[in-house]
């Protein structure tokens, strides 16, 4: 494709060398690319990111790969060769950011340990995304989302009451680690404007997930009591949760007494709060099935959509449990442009999720679709001043 | 307490005016404060952030509040008064960032719409964290994590096979929106170094969560087939999931054929891959209970800890399902300093989660504990040049 226009995004002018693969790292560099950074994805010749071959393939294209690798250029480099490593060093000399999600120690074995990186480019912000962090007894362990969910405590709090610990379906520990990495890198770029120097950033899947427990971790640390799995019920608020209207479920979250009054008011059940059986949260929680029946009985008199309008108008947080088909057709999701179509040359339009954080002055945008394997190898090597004869030599040697 | 030493963090020199309350916003400004920003938390006189009164209170202190409001100063301001709003304008004049998590429209009603903010301080990065985004049919709806989980599709994919849609216990949509906001703000600060201007950043809970579905959304958009709830089983890989050693559960994630070979090799079950009943993933998935029994039978011969050592040494991602008590005592979590103690004057040490993303040149740190309500009102008003007589007047008028 033709050269993309100069980026106007927040991170315009920032060059990212991306050694990552699969999910946590590519998600991080996608976020940076969406913000206008120039992301150069370094892949193994003839092989590339394994996600190129994963998920549903349509006309030779993995939509999973396409959605997490938009806004990137691809160069193939065999980093097991001296020539390949020399080209990587040249790329890093001109770059602002390096991101990798190898196991700790791999960069050192490739000859790109901390000191070497610093000598190549002292302004480089170098980020490692890994499972457990690079220090500590588990540093060398292979990581995977399911294991990070197990070891961060997430599975222990997720699940129906009385059931087993449960994985959350999306690979959240990968995505959270990628997002923390993007934040850490951008903060380090901000520090560089003051110090003139780059630094090392590290984001670990278990650490990131553990930071997301909010009151669950605070309560445990304050009391030593373990949180129980409560499914859709709130541990200490009632009524709260999933209820049943005439045509389906409604999620309702009366998070405090004021909102609970509004909720019961709309349902014409205000008497509940004056009834000695139900006049405290504690009593209501102890009689949850009775309360649920009272609420369901009222909700059964109208359609779900009507209740949602009435309750929202009264300031009661509520909504439908939507599946992905409903989400991706929802008027709010469409108004927020959370589904976008990217024209993938040779494949036609690919639908993917949009930009989760919006900036109005330097908005996120799609400057280019996901690259073919090595699509920009010649272009990038030309930028480094390598001529056609050199490219031939590198190609013949299996280096690019 | 004494004035904290000048910050050496990545965001040193950045002043954040924080109008947020409860969770998504305070989490965002905590992340900025951990990075060295000077965060000024603006609270309602005599009331403050409702989280001050939530969760377990020990010696008058909510540990939940303490952990999400470290590294902040507190000023009380009644924004319903002209004097209060004038002080806020003065604060914004000297600030770099404003963060609020009101419903869309509230800032306009307070007299701090976009144009006014721009006229007060054109370099200000202003961030709104909300439920659904400020444009679209649901913009005015009240938001709450449970509802955002329902409406983002998260509940529809979470849960045991055959069971109901399930909330994930931690309030993830709040935390993800707060983290995206911190990333967006930092990117906007980077843009400002180039453009000289601030801009508007927006992070919505539903949008943020929807961006975290990875292959689940890619597969749905590519095929129109809804993902099924599969609990701890992988939809298309087997064996994979929770298995049983002699003394408890082990999570094992053989995410590809190479790792599966290693796993079955350690178990001395390599024959499985050559058996015509089990020699493809499809066949194995169809015979999941048989495979599970074969694996469990082998695992029952040793303790969990032994298997975890053996499997990790062979490069098989695996680990224990840990509850929060185990997590917070885990040697890796301790080595990563993911539990820290903050001395809260008058209360003693408060334990909380540490820093999820690590920077080695400008590390995160605790410059100050969570503030008392209005603890820094006098100090901050003095910085704005208001004298003691003025403070008396503001106090008497209920403005601070």
DSSP per-residue codes, B195-253:
HS---EEEEEHHHHHHTT-THHHHHHHHH-PPPPP-TTS-SS-SS-EEEEETTEEEEE-
Q: Is A2's pLDDT higher than 60?
A: no
Burial A28-49 (b: 16+ CB within 10 A, else e): bbbbbbbbbbbbbbbbbbeebb
Question: Would B162 be classed as within a structural domain?
Answer: yes
Give yes or no for a contact between A350 and A344, defined as CB atoms under 8 angstroms apart. Answer: yes
Question: Would A208 be classed as within a structural domain?
Answer: yes
Does residue A11 sit at the B interface (CB-CB below 8 Å)? yes
Q: Is A164's pLDDT higher than 90?
A: no
Gap from A238 CA to chain B (nearest CA, Å): 14
Q: Which of B294, B325, B356 is the endpoint of a domain?
A: B325
Question: Would B96 be classed as within a structural domain?
Answer: yes
Provide mean pLDDT across the span A46-50: 96
Residues of chain B with C-beta less than 8 angstroms from the C-beta of A169: 157-158, 216, 227, 229-230
Of A212-216, B103-107, B122-126, B233-237, give the lowest mean pLDDT range: B233-237
Computed on alpha carbons and rounded to an integer, the radius of gyration of chain A in Å comes to 26
- Asked if B324's CB is within 8 angstroms of A220's CB, the reply is yes
CATH number at residue A365: 3.40.50.10540
Question: Would A234 be classed as within a structural domain?
Answer: no
The 3-state DSSP class for residue A134 equals: coil
On whether both A104 and A200 belong to a single domain, the answer is yes
Question: Would A41 be classed as within a structural domain?
Answer: yes
What mean pLDDT, rounded, does chain B reach? 95
pLDDT for B59 equals 87
Q: Is A5's pLDDT higher than 60?
A: no
pLDDT for B7 equals 67
Q: What is the dihedral of CA B116, B122, B126, B132, to 10 degrees?
A: 60
Question: Would A230 be classed as within a structural domain?
Answer: no
pLDDT for B2 equals 41
Does residue B12 sit at the A interface (CB-CB below 8 Å)? yes
Residues of chain B with C-beta less than 8 angstroms from the C-beta of A12: 191, 194
On whether both A31 and A161 belong to a single domain, the answer is yes
Q: Is B213's pLDDT higher than 80?
A: yes
Q: Which of A299, A325, A351 is the endpoint of a domain?
A: A325
On whether both B308 and B380 belong to a single domain, the answer is no
How many angstroms separate the CA atoms of B239 and A370, rounded? 32
* Chain segment A258-306, per-residue pLDDT in tens: 999 999 999 999 999 999 999 998 999 999 999 999 999 999 999 999 9
pLDDT for B89 equals 98
Give yes or no for a contact between A86 and A58, defined as CB atoms under 8 angstroms apart. Answer: no
* Chain segment A368-388, per-residue pLDDT in tens: 999 999 999 999 999 999 999
Residue A3 — very low, low, confident or very high, per pLDDT cuts 50/70/90?
very low
* Chain segment B93-152, per-residue pLDDT in tens: 999 999 999 999 999 999 999 999 999 999 999 999 999 999 999 999 999 999 999 999
Q: What ipTM describes this predicted complex?
A: 0.97
On whether both A111 and A245 belong to a single domain, the answer is no
On whether both B27 and B135 belong to a single domain, the answer is yes
Residue A130 — very low, low, confident or very high, per pLDDT cuts 50/70/90?
very high
* Chain segment A13-31, per-residue pLDDT in tens: 999 999 999 999 999 999 9
Domain that holds residue A286: 241-325
pLDDT for B163 equals 86
The yes-or-no answer on residue A234 being catalytic is yes
A346: left (phi over 0), alpha (psi -120 to 50) or beta: left
Give yes or no for a contact between B186 and B215, defined as CB atoms under 8 angstroms apart. Answer: no
Provide mean pLDDT across the span A123-132: 98
How many angstroms separate the CA atoms of B159 and A160, rounded? 8
On whether both A76 and A118 belong to a single domain, the answer is yes
On whether both B32 and B172 belong to a single domain, the answer is yes
On whether both B297 and B341 belong to a single domain, the answer is no
- Asked if B176's CB is within 8 angstroms of A358's CB, the reply is no
Does residue A147 sit at the B interface (CB-CB below 8 Å)? yes
* Chain segment B45-70, per-residue pLDDT in tens: 999 999 999 988 988 999 999 999 99
On whether both A60 and A204 belong to a single domain, the answer is yes
Asked if residue B53 has a cis previous peptide bond (ω within 30° of 0), the answer is no
* Chain segment B142-184, per-residue pLDDT in tens: 999 999 999 999 999 999 988 889 999 999 999 999 999 999 9
pLDDT for A310 equals 96
| Nearest-by-CA chain B residue for A131 | B317
Q: Write the burial class of residue A346 (CB in 10 Å: 0-12 exposed, 13-18 middle, 19+ buried).
A: exposed
Q: Is B4's pLDDT higher than 50?
A: no
Q: Is A184's pLDDT higher than 90?
A: yes
On whether both A159 and A265 belong to a single domain, the answer is no
How many angstroms separate the CA atoms of A373 and B368, rounded? 49
Gap from B393 CA to chain A (nearest CA, Å): 33
Q: Which of B292, B325, B358 is the endpoint of a domain?
A: B325
On whether both A363 and A286 belong to a single domain, the answer is no
On whether both A348 and A317 belong to a single domain, the answer is no
Residue B237 — very low, low, confident or very high, per pLDDT cuts 50/70/90?
confident
Provide mean pLDDT across the span A132-136: 97
CATH number at residue B267: 3.30.1540.10
Does residue A104 sit at the B interface (CB-CB below 8 Å)? no
Nearest to B180 among A151, A179, A328 (CB): A179
pLDDT for B236 equals 78
pLDDT for A283 equals 93
Cα→Cα distances B42→A29, A250, A300, B81, B145, Å: 34, 35, 43, 14, 23
Residue B1 — very low, low, confident or very high, per pLDDT cuts 50/70/90?
very low
Does residue B103 sit at the A interface (CB-CB below 8 Å)? no
Q: Is A237's pLDDT higher than 90?
A: no
pLDDT for B87 equals 98
Q: Is B5's pLDDT higher than 60?
A: no
Q: How many domains does chain B have?
A: 2
Question: Would A9 be classed as within a structural domain?
Answer: no
Q: Is A1's pLDDT higher than 60?
A: no
pLDDT for A6 equals 58
Gap from A36 CA to chain B (nearest CA, Å): 10
Q: What is the dihedral of CA A357, A359, A360, A362, to 10 degrees?
A: -140
Question: Would B20 be classed as within a structural domain?
Answer: yes
Q: Is B11's pLDDT higher than 80?
A: yes
Q: Is B357's pLDDT higher than 50?
A: yes
Residue B6 — very low, low, confident or very high, per pLDDT cuts 50/70/90?
low
Residues of chain B with C-beta less than 8 angstroms from the C-beta of A164: 232, 242
């Amino acid at each position: 494709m033709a050269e993309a226009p100069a980026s106007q995004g927040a991170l315009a002018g920032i060059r990212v060398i991306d050694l990552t693969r699969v999910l946590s790292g590519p998600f991080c560099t996608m976020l940076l690319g969406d913000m206008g950074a120039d992301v150069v994805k370094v892949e193994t010749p003839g092989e590339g990111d394994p996600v190129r071959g994963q998920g549903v393939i349509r006309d030779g294209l993995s939509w999973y790969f396409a959605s997490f690798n938009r806004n990137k250029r691809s160069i193939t480099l065999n980093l097991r060769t001296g020539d390949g490593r020399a080209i990587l060093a040249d790329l890093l000399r001109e770059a602002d950011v390096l991101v990798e999600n190898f196991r700790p120690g791999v960069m050192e074995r490739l000859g790109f340990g901390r000191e070497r990186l610093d000598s190549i480019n002292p302004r480089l912000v170098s980020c490692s995304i890994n499972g457990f962090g690079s220090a500590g007894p588990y540093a060398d362990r292979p990581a995977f989302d399911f294991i990070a969910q197990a070891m961060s405590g997430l599975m222990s709090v997720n699940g129906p009451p009385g059931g087993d610990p449960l994985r959350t379906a999306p690979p959240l520990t990968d995505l959270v680690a990628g997002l923390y990495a993007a934040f850490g890198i951008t903060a380090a770029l901000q520090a560089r404007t003051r110090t003139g120097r780059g630094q090392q950033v590290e984001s670990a899947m278990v650490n990131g997930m553990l930071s997301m427990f909010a009151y669950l971790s605070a309560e445990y640390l304050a009391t030593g009591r373990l949180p129980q799995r409560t499914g859709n019920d709130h541990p200490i608020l009632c009524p709260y949760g999933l209820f049943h209207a005439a045509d389906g479920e409604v999620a309702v979250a009366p998070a405090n007494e004021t909102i609970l009054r509004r909720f019961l008011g709309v349902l014409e059940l205000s008497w509940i709060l004056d009834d000695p059986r139900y006049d405290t949260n504690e009593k209501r929680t102890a009689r949850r099935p009775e309360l649920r029946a009272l609420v369901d009985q009222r909700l059964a008199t109208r359609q779900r959509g009507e209740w949602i309008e009435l309750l929202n108008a009264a300031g009661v947080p509520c909504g439908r449990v939507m599946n992905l088909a409903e989400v991706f057709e929802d008027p709010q999701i469409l108004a927020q442009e959370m589904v976008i179509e990217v024209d993938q040359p040779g494949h036609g339009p690919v639908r993917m999720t949009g930009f989760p954080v919006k900036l109005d002055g330097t908005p996120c945008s799609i400057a280019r679709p996901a690259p073919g394997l090595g699509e920009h190898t010649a272009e990038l090597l030309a930028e480094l001043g390598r001529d056609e004869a050199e490219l031939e030599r590198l190609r013949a040697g299996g280096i690019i």
